[in-house]
């Protein structure tokens, strides 16, 4: 598998088997690579993209902006995530995708994706699955936003990120790189900056995580999962025919 | 841009802010302190009849320069509603 599609293939293969033909269909997708700085928009709200965007490195988020300048991040995406498969069907973007860290992305023409899905309807279903899982993640986020306390919400998010990063081979032992700002976190969990900052300190002082020099470490996975009431079912990490 | 520390007294526990956040202006500091109060109240709904949640902001030198508080007062009501008004 060529470098740009390794993480994507890993993510798909955690959920189902890819045939050699499907692997080569993925490899043959034309990919126009671009580098973004943190803060850049990869996909712009109200635009009508003719390509979908695959994250290769870095961390990006779906963002919705309010007239008063506030922002809610409604999803976070990592290497191997196709962030705007939505646009393939929706056409007009109802939100932006912004880079939270410097990142590399590959843009694949919608026409090439449709051709690959027509050659392998099963591959099409796996891409469909990825948008269905995006929906499942959003449900988990809505539940956290609406009902979980700040520290449980943040712990839940950290458990989720660890599992997702582990799926694409981006954790080291119990640690992962998380070079995003506290403002980004506060826009994800919908809390004030000060409360977000205190919540991070709470998790740290209770020994559930360490968070130093942009690296998050989870000393005891089970303890953090218990605290976060984290059940990874919604991430659908089961390999089965789909 | 300077770093300020937001200590909290929720009526039960006093929490010293170890990390602080950067504020570009006094307006931003004021907003950050006030914005924090509803989150605090939502997170730990105070118990008891009179509770005050207090945020005190200090600079890197340890001088306090701003505070904001939110008070919860609870009591059982007595008396009848005024039925003379339409």
Task: Report DSSP letters for A170-214, one per residue.
Answer: --BTTEEE----HHHHHHHHT--HHHHHHHHHHHHHTTS-EEETT
Among A192, A201, A202, A204, the residue to mutate for chain B (most B Cβ within 10 A): A192
Query: pTM of the predicted model, to two decimals?
Result: 0.93
The mean per-residue pLDDT over the stretch A128-137 comes to 95
A182/B21 touch (CB, cutoff 8 Å), yes or no: yes
The mean per-residue pLDDT over the stretch A88-97 comes to 88
Q: What is the pLDDT of residue A88?
A: 86
Position B47 pLDDT exceeds 80: no
∠ CA A173-A199-B7, rounded to 5°: 135
* CA nearest neighbour of A42 among A20, A64, A60, A28: A60
Nearest chain B alpha carbon to A198: B17
Placement of tokens 């973007």 in the chain: A93
CB atoms within 10 A of CB A104: 16
Side-chain half-sphere exposure of A194, counting CA atoms within 13 A: 27
CB atoms within 10 A of CB A92: 10
CB-based contact, A189 to chain B, within 8 Å = no
Extended beta strands in chain B, E state: 2-9, 14-15, 21-23, 50-58, 64-73
Q: How confident is the model at residue A168 (pLDDT cuts 50, 70, 90)?
A: very high
Of all residues in chain B, what percent carry a pLDDT higher than 70? 95
Q: What is the pLDDT of residue A174?
A: 97
Q: What is the pLDDT of residue A36?
A: 98
């Amino acid at each position: 598998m060529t470098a740009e599609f390794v993480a994507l293939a890993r993510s798909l293969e955690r959920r189902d088997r890819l045939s050699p033909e499907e692997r080569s269909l993925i490899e043959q997708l034309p990919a126009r690579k671009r580098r973004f700085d943190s803060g850049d928009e990869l996909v712009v709200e109200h635009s009508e993209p003719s390509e979908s965007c695959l994250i290769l490195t870095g961390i990006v988020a779906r963002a919705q902006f309010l007239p008063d300048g506030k922002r809610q991040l409604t999803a976070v995406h990592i290497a191997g995530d196709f962030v705007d498969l939505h646009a393939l069907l929706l056409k007009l973007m109802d939100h932006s995708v912004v880079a939270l860290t410097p990142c590399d992305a590959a843009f694949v023409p919608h026409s090439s994706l449709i051709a690959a899905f027509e050659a392998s309807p099963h591959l099409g279903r796996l891409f469909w699955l990825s948008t269905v899982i995006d929906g499942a993640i959003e449900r988990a986020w809505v539940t956290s936003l609406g009902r979980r306390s700040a520290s449980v919400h943040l712990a839940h998010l950290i458990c989720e990120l660890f599992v997702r990063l582990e799926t694409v081979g981006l954790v080291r032992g119990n640690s992962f790189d998380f070079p995003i700002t506290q403002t980004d976190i506060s826009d994800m969990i919908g809390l004030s900056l000060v409360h977000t900052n205190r919540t991070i300190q709470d998790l740290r002082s209770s020994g559930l995580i360490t968070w130093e020099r942009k690296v998050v470490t989870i000393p005891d996975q089970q303890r953090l999962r218990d605290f976060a009431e984290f059940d990874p079912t919604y991430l659908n990490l089961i390999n089965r025919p789909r | 841009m300077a770093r300020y520390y937001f200590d909290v007294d929720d009526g039960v526990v006093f929490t010293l802010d170890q990390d602080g956040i950067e504020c570009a202006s006094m307006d931003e500091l004021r907003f950050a302190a006030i914005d924090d109060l509803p989150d605090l109240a939502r997170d730990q709904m105070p118990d008891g009849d009179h509770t005050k949640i207090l945020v005190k902001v200090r600079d890197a030198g340890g001088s306090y320069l701003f505070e904001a508080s939110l008070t919860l007062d609870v009591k059982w009501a007595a008396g009848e509603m005024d039925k003379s008004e339409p």
